[in-house]
Structure 1
Amino acid sequence: MGRSSCVLRRAKLACDASSMDNATEFTKRLVELLRSERHAMAEFLVALAEFDRRGLWRQRGHTSLFSFLHRELKLSAGSAQLRKTAAELIQRYPAVEGALREGKLCLSSVCELAKVVTTDNCSEILPRFFGLSSRDAAAVAVSIRPVENPPRREIVVPVRSAAPVVASRDAAQAAPAQVISFHAHEVAPESCRSEPVPALLQPPFDPAPAPKSSSVDWLDGDQARMHLTVSKAFLKKLEAARDALSHSMPGASRETILEAALDELLAERDRRKGLTARPQMKPRPSTRPGRHIPAHVRREVWARDGGRCTFVLASGECCGSTHRLELDHIVPRACGGVSTVDNLRIRCKGHNLEEARRVFGDALVDAYAGTGGGRGAPLLGAAEAHRLTRSATPASSTGALPRRGSGGPPRNAAAAAGTS
């Protein structure tokens, strides 16, 4: 018995030593792989920086480096933005490349570094971001340059709710739409700047387990946080309105879009009640009749192209953007092209400008862009586009609202060159 137990003990010690050796070797292997991963990421970012510097994403049919990373390399939006920011920093500050290679700087902290780094302070503040998480890096960035107007977050989350108890056959036949909890903005009390917003919508029913349909939490005297429950149809209309206002209000938040809609509603009410001057019954004569595109032509082009940019990327994928849409002349006006359905197509602003560059060259387009002519001709009015969207296409895509009193559509570089 004593001899057998001794043998078993030796076998156990041998197994433990073998396991320890395996764990040590495995750890070494993981360290090597991690080092190679950092090196590969750094090499990728250096190559990406050169790719961006030469503007090669344009040759692939994209309007930005982000579009190339997201659409062609199939990176998520967050991953694409991180790599884009890192590539831009590498171009400006070579020290960032070394920090990434050595693992001192991670991608998640790059965006925070980009907010505060300059040529003068790079050598001083770069080490302060070494080894930090994104949260810690954000705190360091704020300590270096406090944010005057903290950014707001907009959150749209689905809400699971039990089916309501119906009391009649008619109520049972009316199936309620799926509801979504829409938080207009989520900000800390100290960042309050906007006016309180009234509750706009009431859902068709009040599910028992769900919170109340709308509520207003006052943060201070000038700011409130509003919570309301809306349908998917409401969100589609909201995104359609954002597209419609993408020319006059680029990058507008949902709060800004809703406020603009309320302004339009109140102005229309005042006009109907005679509280404001009546609109001009006769349209103003166009000061540039040769550039006028008839409304029926715009509507037909919209229906044919589905209210989306029809540019085809080098990968064979259609752009399909519904943002800042413009009309592009296939044969430019400067080359004798006419404003007919067959000679018009829908392009987003970026691809419209790229077409102008291809036809007329960078120098001419940059000259117009440098004089502030960076606004494209809107495709349709918001109300008309929304009506066509509902009747012709399921997508919530619209053109941009023309500026009131402009007397005609604004111009951008492509329009000035005769391609939009």
Structure 2
Amino acid sequence: MNQELIKSLSNEDLLLSTERVVEEERKIVQVLIWHLQEIQDRKLYLLLGYESLYKCLILHFKMSDTTAYSRIKVLKILEEVPEVLEGLKSGELNISNIALAHSFIEKHQKLTGEELSQENKAEIFESLKDKTTTEAKEFFARCNPETALPHDEIRLLTETHYQIRSTVTNKLIEKMDYLKSLISHEHINPSHEELLSLAFDALIEKAEKKRGVNQKSPESGEMTTQSLTDGTRYIPRDVKRYVLKRAQNQCEHIHTNGERCESRFQLQFDHIVAFSKGGKATIENMQLLCRVDNAFKSSFEVH
């Protein structure tokens, strides 16, 4: 049906047609959720060269950040409360409210330290039925006012500058003031950016030292005989340092589209030829993989 035909409809026919389209949209959303659930289960986003389904939805399927985020939230909720799908199908629940509920549950559990039961979660969604998004926000604010605090946000301002918005506790403000006093002889009235940069630099240096990132890495020919022939699962420190330097502290997995993963999240050392198949902890047989790619590789090795 094109726009000209829609314009020619009578008021009654236009309303009836709109009801049919809305119903079709609900069905399409339901089918889309099923598709995304299966892609998530099979981790097919890795085959497309993305480290997460979220990035895949944005970069491959061209969804907006907000749309992709809400779809991911719905998938997570469906794992915990499958009956939510029925509410989505009937129109009693909508994507936005389901995503809001997921955020509320996460925040509430983090604040209270208590895990909500499946029954409690189901009750929350029962209370959300036929509510507008505004009504849903008001409902959550009444349940636990602290969960209504704004989300963290990073917004691009220029090519080189971002705006970070975050709600923090008084304890963090006290730590910032204390840090200011400690460094006041070198940094007079530092900005928030300067404080964060100093804190991050100190933490990064500590973490890199722990991982051996900045320690001198021997060249390939300098590997000790023990490092090259050791038949245990133990990975020698000189091998680790060399692999970290070669990988530039990024995942080395090459996806089927020819692009390297380059994730820096939860990096793990992996035997290219599995240890169970005789693979040794040598620089030639070791690679650096993110947790997701390592798990994906392992699933294929098992099968």
TM-score by length of 1: 0.47
Aligned to 1:105: 93
* Structure 2: runs of 5 or more not aligned: 1-6, 106-115, 211-229
Note if 1:32 corresponds to 2:15. no
More helix by share: 2
Deviation per CA, 1:22-49, whole angstroms, max 9, x where unpaired? 5654444433322211110012223444
2:247 corresponding residue in structure 1:
305
What secondary structure is seen at the aligned counterpart in 1 of 2:288? strand
The answer to whether the aligner puts 1:341 opposite 2:283 as a matched pair is yes
2:219 aligned partner: none
Question: Which blocks of at least 5 consecutive residues in structure 1 are unaligned?
Answer: 1-18, 161-176, 203-211, 215-227, 249-287, 363-420
SS in 1 for 2:270: strand
Q: 1:183-202 to 2 correspondence within 5 Å? A: 185-187=166-168, 192-196=170-174, 197-198=176-177
How many Å separate the matches in 1 of 2:16 and 2:205? 53
How far apart are residue 109 of structure 1 and its match? 1.1
Report the counterpart of residue 387 of structure 1 in structure 2.
Answer: none
Matches within 5 A, 1:37-48: 37-48=25-36
Cα shift readout 1:342-377 (whole Å, capped 9, x = no counterpart):
212220122223333433x39xxxxxxxxxxxxxxx
- Equivalent residue, structure 2, for 1:85: 73
Residues 121 and 158 of structure 1: CA distance in aligned 2, closer, same or farther (over 3 Å): closer
Shift of the 340–130 alpha-carbon distance from structure 1 to 2, 3 Å rule, reads same
Name the CA shift for 1:45/1:180 in 2 (closer, same or farther; >3 Å).
Answer: closer
Question: What residue is the counterpart of 2:263 in the other structure?
Answer: 321
In structure 1, what residue type is equivalent to 2:278?
Answer: G
Quickly say closer, same or farther: Cα 1:56–1:96, change in 2 above 3 A.
same
Counterpart for residue 131 of structure 2: 132
Q: How many residues align?
A: 256
Q: Give the whole-Å Cα distance in 2 for the aligned partners of 1:111 and 1:339.
A: 45
Cα distance in 1 between the residues matched to 2:256 and 2:202: 28
Change in 2 beyond 3 A, CA 1:60/1:321: closer
3-state SS of paired residue (1:194): helix
Task: Tell me how far 1:321 sits from its aligned partner.
Answer: 0.6
| Corresponding letter in the other structure for 2:25 | E
CA gap 1:178/1:142 in 2 versus in 1, 3 angstroms: closer
**TM-score (norm. length: structure 2):** 0.62
RMSD: 4.7
Q: How far apart in 2 are the matches of 1:338 and 1:239?
A: 35
Q: What SS is found at the alignment partner of 1:311?
A: coil
Structure 2 counterpart of 1:141: 140
Aligned counterpart, 1:174: none
SS in 1 for 2:172: coil
Which of residues 264, 271, 293 is equivalent to 2:236?
Answer: 293
Q: Secondary structure at the match of 2:119?
A: coil
Assess if the C-alpha contact under 8 Å between 1:45 and 1:87 holds in 2: yes
Counterpart among 36, 54, 57 of residue 43 in structure 2: 57
Shift of 1:330: 0.9
1:393-404 correspondence to structure 2 within 5 Å = none
The separation in 1 between residues aligned to 2:154 and 2:45, in whole angstroms, is 36
Residue type of the alignment partner of 1:352: N
Cα drift, residue 333 of structure 1: 3.1
Q: Offset at 1:341?
A: 2.4
Q: Looking at CA atoms only, which structure, 1 or 2, has the larger radius of gyration?
A: 1
CA deviation vs aligned residue, 1:280-324 (integer Å, no higher than 9, x gap): xxxxxxxx99524243x4444334334321223345543221112
Note the C-alpha offset of 1:337.
2.3
Contact (CA 8 Å) 1:129, 1:137: kept in 2 or not?
Answer: yes
CA 1:32 to 1:241, structure 2 compared with 1: closer, same or farther past 3 Å?
farther
Native 8 Å contact 2:30 2:89 kept in 1: yes
Q: 1:316 to 1:239 in 2, by over 3 A?
A: farther
1:57–1:68 Cα contact (<8 Å) kept: no
Q: What aligned pairs does 1:5-404 form with structure 2 within 5 A after superposition? A: 25-49=13-37, 52=40, 55-57=41-43, 61=47, 66=54, 69=57, 72-114=60-102, 115-116=104-105, 118-121=117-120, 124-144=123-143, 146=144, 153-157=151-155, 185-187=166-168, 192-196=170-174, 197-198=176-177, 214=191, 228-229=192-193, 234=197, 238=200, 290=232, 291-295=234-238, 297-359=239-301, 361=302
Percentage of pairs with the same residue: 18
Q: Could you tell me whether the CA contact under 8 Å between 1:46 and 1:97 is conserved in 2?
A: no
Q: Which amino acid is the alignment partner of residue 293 of structure 1?
A: P
For CA contacts below 8 A with separation 6 or more, give which structure has more relative contact order: 2
